[in-house]
Chain A
Amino acid sequence: MPVLTRLLGLLLVLVVLGWLVFVFVTGTPYALQQLVNGVTLGMIYGLIAVGYTMVYGIIGMINFAHGDIFMVGAFLSLIALIALSSLGVTSVPLALALTLLFAAAIAALYGWTVERVAYRPLRGSFRLAPLISAIGMSITLQNFVQVSQGARVKPMEPLLPGGISLLNDPDFAVQLSWMQIAIVVTTLAVLGVFTWIVTRTPLGRSMRACEQDLKMAGLLGIDTDRTISLTFVLGALLAAVAGLMILLYYGVIDFYIGFVAGVKAFTAAVLGGIGSLPGAVLGGLLIGLIETFWSAYFSVQYKDVAAFSILVIALIFLPTGILGRADVEKV
């Protein structure tokens, strides 16, 4: 029975992929544009999804406030960009680099604080306690930003206008904007550094040890509390990068963006196989592509429904995700 559902789930993924390929082959220029947009969006979702999947892998809880850390990261980026421009920094790459550092540092502090205040005291409490606390933290962060920065939508002028035309079809010109290139390149660079941390450093080794068996890792002398804290910090760093990206890409943010983006990124983590880091990025790309193509070919109004439905379908037919491994609950 589990094998059958897994097969069914993989079949569903194949059908979706096949549909994407079919659309791509039949309607070239328009579909190419959607592909470019979808990959850009998917990269951002992937960055957020890594944070969910890491935390879930280690302490087995959904960090409900992660989407809001992403939102905080976007606001910090906005504040930094305005501050830099009023300080007279005109070089765009320099401004972006400084903003990235600032937003990542402060967002990491947020991630650390959230873990310290809301989750650490609850280790060993009953099953639902950390989750309820996480929901409380999510509401708190959202309303904190609403109170401190106002409920209005914050617009920002595009930093990097223009781009290159990929395909000059007479009917439809495919645009690859500098912004999209910047987003994809930055994301890949950040993910590269992150992969290096996880696979090659002592911190990464202790993280992987905690992921395999928290208690055993503690017995072998790993400071599990510290490792968990640093996991939250790393997740928040990536979320802040995603926040900066979404600010650059859409140019508008408000205090509510963390909620929907969080659910979608979580969907990406589940779809890729929760606990698997490459899976999170793969899932993010899939969600980004599906959402973009759905909006382009079906209806924009129901694009969130599409993403949420994928979550439900993935959990029912493919609970271990594409790259995840089956987890047997032992008594």
Chain B
Amino acid sequence: MSATLRAASRDALLSALVALGLFGPMIGLLTAPGPTGGLTLVSRPAAVAIAVSTVFAGRLLLLLWRARRGRRAAYAQNRALAEWLNRAGRYVGPALLLGALLLPLTGERYYLDLGVLVMTYVMLGWGLNIVVGLAGLLDLGYVAFYAVGAYSYAIFSTTFGLGFWTCLPIAGLLAALWGVILGFPVLRLRGDYLAIVTLAFGEIIRIVLVNWVSLTNGPNGISGIPRPTLFGLTFNAGGGPGSFADFFGVTPSITHRIAFLYYVILGLALLTNWVTLRLRRQPLGRAWEAMREDEIACRSLGINITRTKLTAFATGALFGGFAGAFFATRQAFISPESFTFIESAIVLAIVVLGGLGSQLGVALAALVMIGGGELFRSFAEYRMLAFGLALVVVMVLRPRGLVSGRTPSVALGARREISAELVAEGRG
């Protein structure tokens, strides 16, 4: 044991030295504006000491823990955890749905706002899950479709006075159209090329939004976007004829509108989920999954790769567009700032953490990352740092995501759970 301890401390010491090299200049020497205007250095030895000792202690504990357990035990424990998660998943899903349905009964505005935010990301995650999780096409520009949906609703409603429910399908269809347009040129590209091209498309769309001032009002954005109505009933704070409060004879309250928005996004998200689950059992969904596993084999079995890829892009983009239109109507104001690469990265992180292809995992990941992120608002600047680290850590430790393993869509005889190590995506 002492030999292990010695080896572990030597390794940890080396890690600490590396950490000193990494963090010494970057954390230890802060460049700050000095009294004369130029930059000066402020030294922060304490911060470096904390960072380096954290690395040392973390590495030491990790090594000792690993040495005690051994690889095989770690493997078995990992599998046991996956099995447990899968079993628990059967109850967690319905429980989450019930909780989501009942949330507005709390009547707390804070929870409702948070619920709307989380639900938006759940919907975006489920939409991107079709492209990344099912079809295996890494799309780093998903926010482009979100932006197309948001801007189509904003422009149609402020220019032509169309309502939310008329524009919702238009926004979705326009986003899907863009999905096809952007999908065409990248059909022949391999996974990583595809990723970087979609990223470029996302940036191009954002730059166009910033600079095409006559259509999008440039960086100032579009404001005064109308709120949605319930069969023509508005949700004015002041009540008045034709409003929800007036029709049902209740006191007008801002909570009604937020609860209504919450149910709209919940409905849209559930629609996404339902369509995905149905499509997955159809030939189209199976073609997506087959393509993800092996494109060449898929093509040689006679599946039309062009059509399969384009439908995946279009379907994913359609839901992104719906979510975008909802975002525009909820905020009543949109600007290109809301559609940066970071947004795509957050949605991708949700899909990856949840387990590529797993509907429940994506919902849980959105709840943890967005809801959790909101609870720790005071650490806001560390949030993206945590997102980035989480992507790396999950890929290294559980590459199939938090909820992995799944039952096959088609099986001969009894359907058996397939363990996480053997599949490329999570539970349906």
The answer to whether A149 and B31 touch (CB under 8 A), given A82-B40, A301-B207, A315-B189, is: yes
Whole-angstrom distance from the CB of B218 to the nearest CB of chain A? Answer: 10
B296 near A136 (CB under 8 angstroms)?
no
Q: Is A171 an interface residue (CB 8 A)?
A: no
Residue from the list A82, A106, A137 in contact with B31, Cβ < 8 A: A82
Alpha-carbon distance between A180 and B371 when the two chains are bound, in angstroms: 50
Q: Is A297 an interface residue (CB 8 A)?
A: no
Residue from the list B21, B29, B204 in contact with A309, Cβ < 8 A: B204
Chain B CB count within 10 A is highest, among A79, A118, A132, A142, for A132
The answer to whether A76 and B39 touch (CB under 8 A), given A136-B388, A137-B388, is: no
Beta-carbon contacts under 8 Å, A102-160 to B: 102, 106, 109-110, 113, 117-118, 121-122, 125-133, 135-150, 154-157
**A154: nearest chain-B partner, CB-CB:** B31
What residues of chain A lie closer than 8 Å to B399, measured between beta carbons?
A: 122, 125-126, 129
Alpha-carbon distance between A157 and B38 when the two chains are bound, in angstroms: 8
Q: Is A259 an interface residue (CB 8 A)?
A: yes
Chain A CB count within 10 A is highest, among B185, B204, B381, for B204
What residues of chain B lie closer than 8 Å to A141, measured between beta carbons?
A: 388
What residues of chain B lie closer than 8 Å to A109, measured between beta carbons?
A: 18, 21-22
Q: Is B67 an interface residue (CB 8 A)?
A: no
Alpha-carbon distance between A300 and B181 when the two chains are bound, in angstroms: 26
Beta-carbon contacts under 8 Å, B187-225 to A: 188-193, 195-197, 199-201, 203-204, 207-208, 210-211
What residues of chain B lie closer than 8 Å to A315, measured between beta carbons?
A: 186, 189, 193, 197
Q: Is B389 an interface residue (CB 8 A)?
A: yes
Alpha-carbon distance between A62 and B197 when the two chains are bound, in angstroms: 12
**B187: nearest chain-A partner, CB-CB:** A316
A131 near B192 (CB under 8 angstroms)?
yes
The answer to whether A150 and B391 touch (CB under 8 A), given A62-B192, A122-B399, is: no
B26 near A72 (CB under 8 angstroms)?
yes
Beta-carbon contacts under 8 Å, B386-410 to A: 387-392, 395-396, 399
B199 near A263 (CB under 8 angstroms)?
yes
Q: Is B247 an interface residue (CB 8 A)?
A: no
Whole-angstrom distance from the CB of B336 to the nearest CB of chain A? Answer: 12
Q: Is A86 an interface residue (CB 8 A)?
A: yes
B25 near A106 (CB under 8 angstroms)?
yes
The answer to whether A118 and B396 touch (CB under 8 A), given A149-B31, A312-B197, is: yes
The answer to whether A78 and B39 touch (CB under 8 A), given A118-B392, A301-B207, A305-B207, is: yes
Alpha-carbon distance between A331 and B299 when the two chains are bound, in angstroms: 12
Q: Is B41 an interface residue (CB 8 A)?
A: yes
A140 near B208 (CB under 8 angstroms)?
no
Q: List 25 A-B contacts (CB under 8 A).
A: A62-B196, A76-B26, A79-B25, A79-B29, A82-B39, A113-B22, A125-B399, A136-B389, A139-B387, A140-B388, A140-B389, A142-B384, A142-B388, A143-B384, A148-B23, A150-B32, A157-B38, A263-B199, A263-B200, A263-B203, A266-B196, A301-B207, A301-B210, A316-B188, A331-B297
Q: A109-B22, A139-B384, A143-B388 are in contact. List 8 more A-B contacts (CB 8 A).
A: A62-B196, A76-B26, A79-B25, A83-B29, A149-B30, A312-B197, A315-B193, A329-B190
Enumerate the 5 nearest inter-chain pairs by beta-carbon distance, A residue then B residue, closest first. Answer: A136-B391, A139-B388, A140-B388, A308-B200, A143-B385
Query: Which residues in B have some Cβ–Cβ distance to A below 8 Å?
Result: 18, 21-23, 25-27, 29-32, 38-41, 132, 136, 138, 140, 185-186, 188-193, 195-197, 199-201, 203-204, 207-208, 210-211, 296-297, 341-342, 345, 348-349, 352, 356, 381-382, 384-385, 387-392, 395-396, 399, 424
